[in-house]
Amino acid sequence: MILLEARTRPQASLGHHPTDRVHLAPNILPDNGEMSGKAAKRWLISGIVQGVGFRYFVQDKAASLDLVGWTRNLSDGRVEVYAVGPASRLSDLAAALHIGPRAAHVRTVEERDENVQNLSGFSIR
């Protein structure tokens, strides 16, 4: 939490300035990822990953890890995932992507670092 002090209502006769304190919640400050410790990753998953509930699996796992982002099917048969959150939770999601839901057969998972986007929730596109 950030504490700002502002000197207001000068009291000339007393020679002092009373202080008003204002508390600012961290979530109203701009988040560039560095201050919050957040990171962003993008994954491309290939194999039997479409038509097997993979995107719903990703959405459920990301929500359980309190990550934000999205997932979508690509026209070439892969699934793309973008997620933002603490690095340790992104690693947990990455581990789950290598397994997938029961009906999936994951062949490869490509991972790369991305810029942090200001998103809310985890959506299926």
Q: What is the CATH number of domain 38-124?
A: 3.30.70.100
In the 8-state DSSP scheme, what is residue 15?
T
Query: Can you give the pLDDT at residue 37?
Result: 86
Residue 23's pLDDT band, with cuts at 50, 70 and 90, is: very low
Where b means 16+ CB within 10 Å and e means fewer, 80-103 reads bbbbbbeeebbebbeebbeebbee
pLDDT single digits (tens) 57-97: 999 999 999 999 999 999 999 999 999 999 999 999 999 99
- Catalytic residue from among 7, 32, 72, 73: 73
Contact 37, 26 (CB under 8 A): no
- Catalytic residue from among 32, 55, 78, 89: 55
Whether 73 is catalytic is: yes
Residue 21 φ then ψ, to 5°? -110, 135
Whether 7 is catalytic is: no
Q: Which residue has the higher pLDDT, 23 or 77?
A: 77
